[in-house]
Amino acid sequence: MQPASEPRAKARRSWTWRIVVTLLVVVAAGTTGAAGIAFFAYDQATRIDRSDPDLVVTNYLRALLNERDETRAALYVCSDASGLSEIRALREQIESQEQELGVVMSVSLEDLQREESGQRVVNVGISIRRAAVIDGIRQSVADRWRFKVVNESGWRVCGATKTA
């Protein structure tokens, strides 16, 4: 005959096992949910927004002229980037002047104006101001530019022309 304490011990082990398994399932489900939420948040934070021509032009110019990140700038460029040689020449000019004068130029974007051209093509006008402190004096120059933006599965910059 079995002592009376053995069935109670088996019952306790059975309940303990159920609790441990339940906790493991809850933790696994919570971890999976948290990973899904983290992935969604990361995707939203790093997604390239090409929904608006104005936004695409400003993001392109920030990447090209301020951050000087060719890889990031390329995210906003259309498949035929041959019309962007003038703005790339401006970047080279800025870098050359910085080396020559021993200064760091700041670039700011001003007076953005959208000129509707159609559903697939939009022209965006913007002033690009370059400024630096040279010999203790703050100096700046602004040029007016027109950007051709084309909707290619999202808006992308295809052309840049200095207008004034």
Query: Where do the structural domains in the chain lie, given as residue ranges?
Result: 1-47, 53-162
* 137 pLDDT more than 80: yes
> DSSP letter string over the chain?
---THHHHHHHHHHHHHHHHHHHHHHHHHHHHHHHHHHHHHHHHHH----S-HHHHHHHHHIIIIIS--HHHHHTTB-S-TTBTHHHHHHHHHHHHHHHHHT---EEEEEEEEEEE--SSEEEEEEEEEEEEEETTEEEEEEEEEEEEEEESSSEEEEEEEE--
Query: How many C-beta atoms surround the C-beta of residue 129 within 10 A?
Result: 15
Q: Tell me the mean pLDDT in the region 73-86.
A: 94
Higher pLDDT, 116 or 152: 152
Over the stretch 52-77, which tens digit does the pLDDT of each residue have? Answer: 999 999 999 999 999 999 999 999 99
Pick the CATH number of 53-162 from 3.10.450.50, 3.90.1150.10, 3.40.50.300, 1.10.472.10: 3.10.450.50
Over the stretch 17-57, which tens digit does the pLDDT of each residue have? Answer: 777 778 888 777 777 776 666 555 444 545 688 889 999 99
3-state secondary structure labels for all residues of 68-83: CCHHHHHCCECCCCCE
Over the stretch 88-102, which tens digit does the pLDDT of each residue have? Answer: 999 999 999 999 989
Sign of the alpha-carbon dihedral angle for 29, 32, 38, 39: negative
* 79 pLDDT more than 80: yes
* 4 pLDDT more than 60: no
Q: Specify the pLDDT at position 43.
A: 46
Over the stretch 106-135, which tens digit does the pLDDT of each residue have? Answer: 999 999 999 877 778 999 999 999 999 988
